[in-house]
Amino acid sequence: MIPIGDENPTLRTPWATYVILGSIFAVWFLVQGAGFDAYALAASACNYGMVPGELTRLAAVGSGVPIAEGLACVINRDPINVVTPFTSMFLHGGWLHLLGNALFLWVFGNNIEDSMGPLRFALFYVICGLAAAATHVFIEPSSALPTIGASGAISGVMGAYLLLYPRVRVRMLFIFIIFFRVFRIPAWIVLLYWFAIQVLEGIPQLSPGPELTGGTAVWAHVGGFVAGVLLVKGFENRSLVRRRSLVADAGAVFGDRKHPADVHLRQR
């Protein structure tokens, strides 16, 4: 099932969410060649993606992994490695990866920004992304495989949504072959189900065995989500949350009519 929206109106234009989404797409087109240039895609992942073994120095210099035909990502001690937990948040491995992350950020991000304000939300987003990166490094400290994607930070946004808006209904698109249907499901069910899937998929990675050669860094998702749950109360703007509650109460009373304060709402 795919989230396509929620029943949670916003009061303010989500400028930070727009900027983050715009930055992700700009990097995809301008730095990664929109996925059409294999060399640009591989080079961006290798140079600006986060390699745990480079950060921990547990991967030997000169070792590496193949990441495309005729191309390998080689371990080095370049100073830029220090900032790759941040730069990696703006990189993606393909169109599906990019669009999936963008959709999740749009569905859940603008309401969290609406409860924090743009500056707090931007800082919260980055901190959750860094927490996700740290979790992945902790789980796979010697990995030479580049890790890229915004999903760790977005997982933090989802964790925040669970705490702030657990009863809001999320519109989920169910697809089965040619059957399409939209279900409205409480956010707490959607988010806890998603979190449980990440944990279950991550358990095998905790067992000793050969180093993973690809796939999804699910423990980064788990780390980001937990960070979002733990940090959201410290970042929320209580006056904005209180205002949202008043508007929601007025909407319940007046339905589709404007409430007495004549506050403009934007429904996704």
The pLDDT of residue 249:
52
Any idea which of 85-99, 118-132, 248-262 has the lowest mean pLDDT? Answer: 248-262
Cβ atoms of 232 and 160 closer than 8 Å: yes
Q: What pLDDT, on a 0 to 100 scale, did the predictor assign at position 233?
A: 94
At the fourth CATH level, the homologous superfamily of domain 2-205+215-254 is Rhomboid-like (1.20.1540.10)
For the chain, give the mean pLDDT.
87
Dihedral sign (CA 58, 219, 89, 210): positive
* Band (244; pLDDT cuts 50, 70, 90): confident
Report pLDDT for 126: 98
Every domain of the chain and the residues it spans:
2-205+215-254
Supply the pLDDT for residue 190.
95
Averaged pLDDT, 117-124: 96
Give the rounded percent of residues in the chain with a pLDDT score beyond 90.
66
C-beta separation of 6 from 268 below 8 A = yes
- As a whole number of angstroms, the distance between CA 244 and CA 238 comes to 10
Q: 1-32, pLDDT tens digit by residue?
A: 788 898 888 888 999 999 999 999 999 999 99
Q: What is the pLDDT of residues 33-91, one digit of tens each?
A: 998 988 899 999 999 999 999 999 999 998 888 887 778 889 999 999 999 999 999 99
